[in-house]
Amino acid sequence: MARLNVNGRTREVEAAPDTPLLWVLREQIGLTGTKYGCGIAQCGACSVHINGALQRSCSIPLSSVKATDRIVTIEGLSARGDHPVQRAWLALDVPQCGYCQTGQIMAAAALLKSKPKPTDADIDAAMTNICRCGTYSRIRAAIHTAAGNTSASAAGKKA
Amino acid sequence: MTARTATATRLSRRTFLISGAATGGGLALGLHVGGLKEALAQSVLGTTGNEVGAWVFIRPNDEVVVRIARSEMGQGTLTGLAQLVAEELECDWKKVRTEYPTPGQNLARNRLWGDMSTGGSRGIRQSQEYVRKGGAAARMMLLQAAADQWKVPVAEVKVANGVITHAATNRRLTYGKVAAAAAKLPVPDSKAITLKDPKSWKIAGRSEKRLDTADKLTGKQVFAIDVKLPGMLNASIMDAPVFGAKVKSYEEAKARAMPGVRHVVKVGDTAVAVVADTWWQANAALKVLNIAWEEGANDKVSSQSIAEFLKQGLDATEGVFVGNTVGDAGQAIAGAARKLEAVYFSPYQNHATMEPMNCVAKWTADRCEVWVASQNGEASLAACAEAAGLPPSKCEVYKYHLGGGFGRRGFQDYTTKAVLVAKQIPGVPIKVIWSREEDMRQGRFRPVGICRMSAGLDDKGELVGLAMRISAPSILAAVAPARLDANGRDSIAFQGLNPQGPEGQLGYTVPNLLIDHAMRNTHVPPGFWRGVNNNQNAIWLECFLDEVAKAAGKDPLEFRRKLMGNHPKHLAVLNAVADKIGWGTPPPAGLTRGIAQHMGYGSYVAAAAEVRLSDRGRVKIERLVMSTDCGHVVNPQQVIAQVEGSVAYGLGAMLYQECTVSGGRMVEENFDSYPMMLMEDFPKIETILAPSGGFWGGVGEPTICVAAPAVLNAIYAATGQGIYTLPLKNVRLQRA
Ligand code: FES
Ligand code: FES
């Protein structure tokens, strides 16, 4: 039995110590907003925050998570889905299929926390999640929107 | 593929005839009316009461629920189709909701909602007319109901935003108030319905927000992989990595002793699955099964042996099919003042949808249900019934938004396998999730191909002959042999190269032309991959034309224009990108430019690129201008999203991706060896929407075909060296 702090709630879970946090979240706790894409830390679909830092949960074994670690998933990012990143995503209609987007949003939220006014270069460096649908230009624009940036790149090239 | 054909035969015996299910070619159904009541009882839709015709259900609170038969996989069709219905319905767009009718209901109700297949960029263009008529019919019924209630002639009744008014008596009613009465009226004959001129559209044609965004931002959106049912168990599966191989043996004991493991089951002859409490447990146990395979001859096949095999097709006379011929290309080229030749190679590609293949299935002796993301709900139903050994009327499919499709989820192998697992554990819902590795190994791959391009120029540099010999596997021969032409020709091999036709006409007039296909089928299962053969066809033709233009001493745009006099729509999009990128003026310092045009899925598309080639041979795509003429645009911002998405998909393949074969199996099993385009490499894109009206072209795929050749031509402008093999990561580039 392991104890986790997920989205501010204490959760008791029964899983082998080598079970990745991703699968504990999805299968034991029932938080399916965190997605499985690759299982090898390549795609970012499984992104969560642990103690405020962005982490790819598919590659974090349960045994390495302490009961005191604060885990935040997409379901806990904001109470009403109104985190500035979520609002910007909504305003710019970012998602296509949407499968990668919860991970993208977690990555963008972490970026804005460390760099409230990111440049395009910051975004290139920080946003390494895969979007197979190719929503990258809207993700970029939405990050600028969420940051309140008004640079030309923030406006993107939308018609 | 024989399995596919067998399916067809068996199902047709059950009054259920499937044609080209794999491609979404549509099901021709002999109806099984016996299941009607049962299917309706199982309905998740409110099919009674306020159903005003097939497409519209109106709640008493005025909410309009539009039925969407096609699948939403990110391409925005759900919103676009709803806009088209709402436009004719004259309802309040803010009150529009959507729902998927189930394939079982479609079957039970005589295919009321028509074709559910979602591929070939057909979602809008193939259903726009009948869904608009569905919206118009509902409007007519609602107005009639109001007129009846007021006892006035219907001609005196008006509607705007879902509010019906009678000016003379100053009365008003909302749609929600008359829906129940309207639902009882006869549905007007569709031939008697006149649709609006798109010029007068108020909801369609506008950049409305997608209807499916909010839940995708919070984790609330339930994808098939997230489905949870009471008592559900989870399974991980491994199918023979060497295509065509069979399971010889496996060691069950160790797997069974692992935590959570409930069952180890063989799936058909070719796969084994472990069923456990959680997927992670199942997948861990799958790895210790030590499966041995009976591999047969295919385990000798490699990328190299396939390349050799295809090379033989270049000069073959057997198994060759003509796609387009004018005059005598062979003779014209032989007698030309100047001859050019180049042989191109294009590798296998994987769809790699972000959501790996998965399906939940529940089987009992008299009913089978699946919860699945599918590009063709009816094909899922057929696959479910076949695997379940039940008539389709005793099966049902619950459709979920797809975490990516791109052609992969038109194939129902993952549905079949889930049912075959569930059938061995009756009454228990089983979720089968493919690991990413399984998903990559068991793809339906964009076919490998080689192509020899040859051209002849006269002494003035005019193109006198052009020949294109494609040597490649046929997709149709593998997945839908019934769709081959009578002589065995695969018409899809010639996408974008056809002499005529609304789907993909060659945009050039050449006095002597020969385009043919040496069909060379391998053991690797091919599939429809976003843009399908347009991808390679456009790269081969457009890149070669730049070489020919250079040999003729002509500008690539001028050279093309001269061949395009009879193709004004092709030319218009090409001119549009050339103008916008500033063709004819010097590019910014250090950059070179390239252009390309193509026609696919009924749309005319072109691209212009500006690239920077570093001293070390690294390419940076600085700017892309894309143009599309798809006839009519239903939602401009979503068309732009599709253009951008297609660029990422097409350029990712061109730049980095290849599936190689070794020992008969696919080598690349995850994103570390099959890398995706990421943010930092995604170019700035300017999209020109140039709908010229009068036809309906597709949107999801066409532009994918031109991004890659435009970029390759820009690189060619920098290097002066033709690029004959892809992906580009395998090519050493050097500035001229
Ligand atoms: S699933 Fe964790 S990075 Fe891909
Ligand atoms: S929106 Fe589909 S993978 Fe990103």
Q: What is the largest CA-CA distance in chain A?
A: 54
The residue from A15, A43, A77 where one domain ends is A77
Using the Cβ of A7 and the Cβ atoms of chain B, whether some distance falls under 8 Å is answered with no
Alpha-carbon gap: B668 to the closest alpha carbon of chain A (Å): 13
Class of the domain covering B224-295+357-433: alpha beta
Q: Which residues contact B277 (CB under 8 A, 6 or more apart)?
A: B233, B234, B260, B262
Instruction: Please tell me whether residues A56 and A107 are part of one structural domain.
Output: no
CB contact under 8 A, B645 and A135: yes
What single letter denotes the amino acid at residue B161?
N
CB atoms within 10 A of CB B63: 18
DSSP code, position B652: H
| Shortest CA distance from A94: residue in chain B | B213
All residue ranges of chain B with pLDDT < 70 are 1-48
Question: Which chain A residues are closer than 8 Å to B259 by Cβ?
Answer: 16
Who contacts B187 (Cβ-Cβ below 8 Å, separation ≥6)?
A: B53, B54, B137, B141
- The SS3 assignment for B413 reads helix
The domain limits of chain B are 13-209, 224-295+357-433, 303-349+445-730
C-alpha of residue B73 to centroid of ligand 2, in Å: 9
* CB proximity B656 to A under 8 Å: no
Mean pLDDT of A112-127: 98
**Residue B115 and residue B377: Cα distance in Å, rounded?**
9
Q: Do domains B13-209 and B224-295+357-433 have the same CATH topology?
A: yes
Read off the pTM. 0.94
Q: Inter-chain contact B640–A159, Cβ cutoff 8 Å?
A: yes
Cα separation, B356 vs B432, in Å, equals 10
- B163-184 as b/e, with b when 16 or more CB fall inside 10 Å? bbbbeeeeeebbbbbbbebbbe
The contacts of residue B233 (CB under 8 Å, 6+ apart) are: B262, B263, B275, B276, B277, B425, B428, B429, B430, B431
> Both tokens of residue A156?
């993107």
What is the B402 CA–ligand 2 centroid distance (Å)?
10
The mean of the pLDDT values for chain A is 94
Q: Which CATH architecture has domain B13-209?
A: 2-Layer Sandwich (3.30)
Q: Which CATH number is correct for B303-349+445-730, 3.30.300.30, 3.30.365.10, 3.40.50.10490, 3.20.20.210? A: 3.30.365.10
Interatomic CA distance for residues B630 and B569, integer angstroms: 10
* Same domain for A92 and A37: no
Ligand nearest to the CA of A37: 1
Ligand 1 pocket check for A36: Cβ under 6 Å:
yes
Of A23, A32, A37, which has the smallest distance from its Cβ to B354's Cβ?
Answer: A37
**Domain termination site, one of A27, A52, A77:** A77
Same domain for A136 and A70, yes or no, is no
pLDDT on residue A158? 38
On the question of a cis peptide bond just before residue B153, with omega within 30 degrees of 0, the verdict is no
What CATH number has the domain bearing residue A128? Answer: 1.10.150.120
- Both A47 and A104 in one domain: the answer is no
Quick one: A27 and A68 in the same domain?
Answer: yes
CB-based contact B218 A86, cutoff 8 Å: yes
Tell me what pLDDT residue B529 has.
98
Together in a domain, A7 and A58: yes
The bound ligand whose nearest atom lies closest to the alpha carbon of A42 is: 1
Task: Single out the residue of A156, A155, A157 nearest to residue B689, CA to CA.
Answer: A157
Cβ of A45 closer than 6 Å to ligand 1, yes or no, is yes
Whether residues A105 and A48 fall in one domain: no
Crossing angle (nearest 10°) for helices B704-719 and B636-655: 50
Quote the pLDDT of residue A110: 98
Q: Based on the domain organization, do A73 and A88 belong to the same domain? A: no
Q: Does residue A135 sit at the B interface (CB-CB below 8 Å)? A: yes
Under 8 Å between Cβ of B298 and B244 = yes
Work out how many domains chain A is built from and give that number: 2
CATH number at residue A64: 3.10.20.30
- Same domain flag for A70 and A8: yes
Q: What is the pLDDT of residue B25?
A: 28
Tell me the pLDDT band of A149, cut-offs 50, 70 and 90: confident
Comparing alpha-carbon positions, the chain A residue that sits nearest to B402 is: A97
Instruction: Give the per-residue pLDDT at B48.
Output: 55
The order of strands in the sheet holding B619-629 is B591-600, B603-613, B619-629, B685-689
Instruction: Give CA A118 to chain center in angstroms.
Output: 17
Nearest Cα neighbor of B148 from B114, B119, B182, B122 is B182
- Which domain does A11 fall in, by range? 2-77
pLDDT digits (tens, 9 = 90+) for B538-562: 999 999 999 999 999 999 999 999 9
Residue A6 and residue A35 share a domain: yes
Same domain, A19 and A73: yes
- Structure tokens given for B240: 């023979």
In 3D space, the residue among B285, B282, B289, B290 whose CA is nearest the CA of residue B433 turns out to be B282
User: What confidence tens digit (pLDDT) does each residue in A19-73 have?
Assistant: 999 999 999 999 999 999 999 999 999 999 999 999 999 999 999 999 999 999 9
